[in-house]
Amino acid sequence: MDNAKISAQITKLADLLEFQGANSFKIRAYRRGARVIKDATDSFATIVNNDPSELLEIEGIGKGVAEKITQLIQDGEIAEINTILETVPATVLDILRIPGLGPRKAALLYQELGIQTLDQLQAACKADEVQKLKGFAAKTQQSILDGIAIAAAANERIYWSDADQLADALRLHMQNCPAIQRIEFAGSYRRGRETVGDLDVLVDSTDAESVMDHFSEFPELEQVIVRGDTKMSIRVTNSFQVDLRVVPADAFGAALQYFTGSKDHNVELRGRAKQLGLKINEYGVFRVEGDDESYIAGATEEEVYQALDLPCFAPEIREARTEFHWASDDAIPTLITVEQIQGDLHMHTTATDGKASIEEMAEAAKARGLKYIAITDHSQRVSVAHGLDAEKLLQQWKEIDDINASRNDDFLILKGVECDILEDGAMDLPDEVLAQADWVIASVHFGQRQPRQQITDRITGALANPHIDIIAHPTGRLINRREAYEVDIDAVFQAAQENHKMLELNANPARLDLHDVHCAMAREREIPIVISSDAHSVTGLDVLKYGINQARRGGLAAGHVANTLSWNKLQKLLSS
């Protein structure tokens, strides 16, 4: 069990306890513990397996939390959660997923209005019953309504990064099944969508029974939904669904194409096939002559597309947006790959809320094949993250100069900062300080609920500041958790274009901000995108690949992404 899952279980326990109105010290201790676990770089499962008493030596882990962690690792569950769920409806957990609606308010809704499900809550909001409760204003009722949509979606779709972990585990498990010739993952996961609704697995085999027997033994399996002759669906941890299909070799490419989708892409393909006197489905491509159908392709995806006189599109662009136009213009972009990234221009260190030092981040980035990084700690306004004031920042930059001078390689550490755009639009650090940086990121962290014009003006104002190079996570959305700010993205693009600035694609799997369609818009306007990790630890550097997925979905080639350039060339691009 990984730290993220342990942390989620402890948070769930805290949520349920708070819903019940339990002792607030206890709840706070669990929440603190959950945060420590989530941020830790050592595996808590390993610690427990070695010696559970070592947990107590970790700062932020008290006796109560340590007991729960130990129980979770040893028994696979926390008994208290099940006990609470005997008296509290499990659907309450869905309600708790609504952004801004804490356990206390959820408890009130349950006690006063008997609300247990998202549907009931939505109905009560629409009937204006919620705003009549003590502590609920009309505004709260509206934000609950907005949040219900997010919570409902969060219930069904998981982050691509989580689907990726599941896919890895499943691939590993299925490898031991001798009846399998080949296994591929299809669907939205293969297309690199930011969230995945269910995982689609295709297996090439002539022995479906053995394959499905083996699938039944997947350790994360919770429930078999259905088992047929060649198709089987299961639920794994957190009720997530996995669909398995067993297909023969001569249909494998056709099935892979069909189940990769997207649905809209497939609809377009079928139309084209028809025009050519062909038929396409998950079994192959067939020539239709009167009542006769003869198989002409299906073993590989390449031959399927070739039969339709089309190139084998990268899965990420199979959305029926522009790929067919690109194909007819012979203008399909060579999509960016993670190996092409040369530098990472957004990361934090122990100077603020990061977990590693400047040197550690540099070494880790170098080990990952990068040529340069920018250290971009928070500015003073972000006090919860110990943001730096001018003096501390200048000190850090001096330190970076020294480190660069003492290194005997050509790896480059840039002096940067993630400077807050304050609520009134001013920058959080004086211009004369920003002027001394190599790289300045501007971000909105406060006043995210401001009206559209105000928040847009803040961002476009920052883009007009000559010391600012880029806007980080330009829309502020958190997938499944928080909507984007009310920002006029067109105005942001325009300001970036006019001022020759760049925009970030933040690769954190919960952000992926800008998203794919915005990336495509930036591409059309020739605004350079920078894909950044926003790492707060050494392993945080590994998220770049999620940003690459999103960039590919937006049709970006290396030429559209500025940090595929050397630092020298990137600088020239900025000043052009």
**Residue 251 or 489 having the CB closest to ligand DGT:** 251
Distance, in Å, from the CA atom of 212 to the CA atom of 249, rounded to the nearest integer, reads 17
Pairing label, strands 158-159, 292-297: unpaired
**Residue 94 or 200 having the CB closest to Ca ion:** 200
Count Cβ atoms below 10 Å from residue 222 Cβ, excluding itself.
12
Rule CB under 5 A: is residue 513 a binding residue for Zn ion?
A: no
DSSP state, residue 378:
B
Q: Which residues pair with 241 in a beta bridge?
A: 235
Tokens of 155: 């219930």
325, 520 Cβ separation under 8 angstroms: no
Give least dist CB 13 to ligand DGT, A: 30
- Our measurement of the distance from residue 224's CA atom to the centroid of its chain's CA atoms, rounded to an integer in Å, reads 28
Give least dist CB 484 to ligand DGT, A: 21
- Candidate ranges 181-189, 258-266, 450-458, 531-539; the one touching Zn ion (CB under 5 A): 531-539
Tokens of 201: 């697995």
Residue 263 binds: one of Zn ion, ligand DGT, Ca ion, none (C-beta under 5 to 8 A by kind): ligand DGT
**Residue 347 or 495 having the CB closest to Zn ion:** 347
Residue 534 binds: one of Ca ion, ligand DGT, Zn ion, none (C-beta under 5 to 8 A by kind): Zn ion
Contacts of residue 131, Cβ cutoff 8 Å, sequence gap at least 6: 137, 138, 140, 141
Give least dist CB 258 to Ca ion, A: 11
**Residue 198 or 488 having the CB closest to Ca ion:** 198
Count Cβ atoms below 10 Å from residue 544 Cβ, excluding itself.
20
Contact characters 90-129, Zn ion, x per CB under 5 A: ----------------------------------------
Q: At what angle do helices 208-216 and 160-174 cross, to 10 degrees?
A: 120
458, 495 Cβ separation under 8 angstroms: no
12, 93 Cβ separation under 8 angstroms: yes
Contact characters 148-187, Ca ion, x per CB under 5 A: ---------------------------------------x
- Candidate ranges 133-141, 237-245, 277-285, 540-548; the one touching Ca ion (CB under 5 A): 237-245
Residue 516 binds: one of Zn ion, Ca ion, ligand DGT, none (C-beta under 5 to 8 A by kind): none
Task: Mark out the alpha helices in 435-501 (DSSP H runs).
Answer: 452-464, 489-498
**Residue 168 or 524 having the CB closest to ligand DGT:** 168
Footprint on residues 242-271 left by Ca ion (CB under 5 A): 243
**Residue 245 or 523 having the CB closest to Ca ion:** 245
**Residue 194 or 428 having the CB closest to ligand DGT:** 194
**Residue 83 or 223 having the CB closest to ligand DGT:** 223
Residue type, 163: A
Contacts of residue 25, Cβ cutoff 8 Å, sequence gap at least 6: none
Residues of this chain that bind ligand DGT (CB under 6 A): 187-188, 196-198, 200, 258-259, 261-263, 266-267
- Our measurement of the distance from residue 269's CA atom to the centroid of its chain's CA atoms, rounded to an integer in Å, reads 30
Rule CB under 5 A: is residue 534 a binding residue for Zn ion?
A: yes
Rule CB under 5 A: is residue 164 a binding residue for Zn ion?
A: no
DSSP state, residue 563:
G
Residue of 184, 200, 438, 534 interacting with Ca ion (CB under 5 A): 200
**Residue 323 or 534 having the CB closest to Zn ion:** 534
Helix (H) or strand (E) holding 158: strand 158-159
505, 550 Cβ separation under 8 angstroms: yes
Footprint on residues 391-450 left by Zn ion (CB under 5 A): 418
Which parts of this chain interact with Zn ion (CB under 5 A)? 418, 534
